[in-house]
């Protein structure tokens, strides 16, 4: 049966007065499956993400990708008239997603208790550095702060080197996934399980990374061991590392079990390892890891990257070239899966970017347009949705409210 084009989240309207990455990314994910997202920016200057490089003809590629599928309006929530308009928008919304310092929306008269009086079904997603309560709740947060406070930065890097951040704003994007997940849980309980009312989704940066800390906390609690940096290695996969090839590229090889180890030993011409008692189980391989890693490193260094991956795959040993953007764009598997799509970006023509993930068989997501221009949808929202007159629009703009 062919997929039936449909929007799984049609009818869900999200107001997004959130900035940077962690707050907006959740609504972006939901917009790809049909949710209507209204991006709210401060009049005159817009969000700072619009100015984050790389830029093409003064257009931020970061903005174009992060805010795809959204409508954009300008509104100053610090002004009484701006607060009134936000409340009117809330009457017709399902969700509000914000990431200001806890207490800011309450100061503006827009806290959850106020909004739920206007719309009892409203779900309020609150992204912050440390959460809405607790002794650190008033402190500012950022991706790097979340990585540090969650313990992940301590674990990243080599044992003999300093702690490192990962190569992307992982805390921001993971928090965005959790805020989207929390949004759907709140809506499902409200609509499908008879809850009939909205609730707050409290999604701090550090908790999203804390949730993926594997066994680091139980390990310290029961064994008194503080897990440290391990570089590219993992105690459950030996040998396993990144190795440089003859042509200067890097490949990663992972040996997660006895079968994979047997395949590796035969592939690199070291069948004798299979009868060496030191390497008969995972424990023995961990105790003799340096010797094993040296053998693999030497073998890989004498071969081209494509040859290494081909031989490992034939031996049923997980292996992959370390991809760059060049490799991703040219890879036939990524093309076959339609992982990359084209977007029309004002001033930048067509932009290739990552498509919708995950893929649903009956209600697939879609990218309808790139991040909107500043205040692009003011007329559509204020006049079409709220019924304001042209005269009111002029006044609000002159006052700096929109």
pLDDT classification of 19: cutoffs 50, 70, 90: very high
Question: Does residue 102 sit in the same domain as residue 177?
Answer: yes
Residue 1 has pLDDT above 80, yes or no: no
Who has greater pLDDT, 348 or 39? Answer: 39
Q: Are 66 and 25 in contact (CB under 8 A)?
A: yes
What's residue 120's pLDDT?
A: 98
**DSSP class per residue in 251-297:** EEEE--SHHHHHHHHHHTT-GGGGG-GGGSSHHHHHHTHHHHHHHHH
Catalytic residue numbers read 172
Residue 322, domain member (yes or no) = yes
pTM for the full predicted model: 0.93
What's residue 349's pLDDT?
A: 76
What's residue 18's pLDDT?
A: 97
Question: Domains in the chain: how many in total?
Answer: 2
Residue 171, domain member (yes or no) = yes
Give mean pLDDT, residues 49-60. Answer: 90
What's residue 6's pLDDT?
A: 65
Please tell me the least confidently modeled range out of 148-152, 230-234, 246-250, 260-264: 230-234
Residue 235, domain member (yes or no) = no
Question: Does residue 285 sit in the same domain as residue 355?
Answer: no
291, with CB counted inside 10 A (0-12, 13-18, 19+), is middle
Give the residue among 400, 318, 383 at the shortest CA–CA distance from 80.
400
Instruction: For residue range 291-349, list pLDDT tens digits in order.
Output: 999 999 999 999 999 999 999 999 999 999 999 999 999 999 999 999 999 998 876 67
Q: Are 170 and 147 in contact (CB under 8 A)?
A: yes
What's residue 45's pLDDT?
A: 84
Question: Does residue 286 sit in the same domain as residue 198?
Answer: no
Helices (H), 92-169: 104-107, 112-118, 143-149, 152-155
Residue 274, domain member (yes or no) = yes
Give mean pLDDT, residues 212-231. Answer: 96
pLDDT classification of 184: cutoffs 50, 70, 90: very high
Question: Does residue 161 sit in the same domain as residue 277?
Answer: no
Question: Does residue 28 sit in the same domain as residue 83?
Answer: yes
> How are beta strands 349-354 and 340-345 bridged, if at all?
antiparallel
What's residue 2's pLDDT?
A: 46
CB proximity list for 7: less than 8 A, separation 6 or greater: 33, 34, 363
Average pLDDT of the chain, as a whole number: 95
What's residue 265's pLDDT?
A: 97
Domain containing residue 279: CATH number:
3.30.1540.10
Question: Does residue 268 sit in the same domain as residue 355?
Answer: no
Instruction: For residue range 3-13, list pLDDT tens digits in order.
Output: 445 689 999 99
Structural domain harbouring 52: 13-212+339-398
Residue 121, domain member (yes or no) = yes
Give mean pLDDT, residues 148-173. Answer: 96
For Cα atoms 142, 20, 117, give the angle at the middle one, nearest 5 degrees: 100
Question: Does residue 191 sit in the same domain as residue 95?
Answer: yes
pLDDT classification of 59: cutoffs 50, 70, 90: confident
């Amino acid at each position: 049966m062919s997929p039936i084009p449909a929007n799984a989240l049609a009818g869900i309207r999200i107001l997004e007065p959130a900035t940077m990455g962690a707050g907006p990314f959740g609504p972006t994910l939901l917009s790809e499956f049909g949710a209507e997202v209204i991006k709210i920016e401060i009049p005159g200057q817009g969000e700072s993400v619009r100015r984050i490089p790389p830029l093409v003809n003064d257009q931020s590629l970061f903005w174009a990708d992060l805010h795809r599928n959204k409508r954009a309006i300008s509104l100053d929530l610090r002004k009484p008239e701006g607060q009134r308009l936000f409340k009117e928008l809330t009457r017709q919304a399902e969700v509000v997603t914000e990431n200001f310092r806890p207490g800011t929306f309450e100061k503006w008269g827009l806290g959850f208790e106020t909004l739920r009086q206007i719309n009892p079904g409203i779900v309020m997603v609150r992204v912050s550095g440390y959460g809405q309560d607790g002794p650190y709740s008033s402190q500012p947060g950022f991706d790097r702060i979340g990585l540090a406070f969650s313990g992940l930065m301590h674990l990243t890097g080599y044992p003999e080197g300093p702690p490192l951040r990962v190569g992307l704003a992982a805390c921001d994007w993971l928090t965005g996934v959790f805020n989207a997940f929390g949004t759907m849980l709140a809506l499902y309980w409200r609509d499908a399980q008879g809850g009939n009312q909205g609730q707050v989704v409290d999604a701090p940066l550090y908790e999203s990374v804390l949730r993926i800390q594997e066994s680091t906390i139980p390990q310290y609690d029961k064994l008194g061991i503080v897990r440290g940096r391990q570089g590219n290695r993992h105690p459950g996969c030996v040998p396993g590392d990144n190795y440089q090839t003859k042509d200067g590229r890097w490949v990663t090889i992972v040996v997660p079990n006895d079968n994979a180890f047997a395949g590796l030993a035969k592939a690199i011409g070291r069948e004798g390892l299979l009868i060496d008692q030191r390497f008969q189980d995972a424990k023995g391989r961990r105790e003799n890891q340096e010797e094993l890693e040296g053998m693999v490193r030497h073998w890989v260094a004498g071969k081209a990257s494509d040859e290494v991956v081909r031989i490992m795959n034939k031996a049923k040993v997980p292996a992959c070239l370390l991809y760059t953007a060049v490799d991703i764009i040219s890879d036939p598997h990524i093309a076959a899966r339609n992982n990359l799509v084209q977007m029309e970006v004002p001033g930048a023509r067509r932009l290739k970017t990552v498509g919708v993930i995950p893929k649903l068989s009956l209600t697939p997501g879609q990218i309808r347009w790139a991040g909107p221009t500043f205040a692009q949808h003011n007329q559509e929202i204020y006049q079409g949705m709220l019924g304001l007159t042209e005269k009111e629009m002029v006044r609000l703009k002159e006052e700096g409210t929109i």
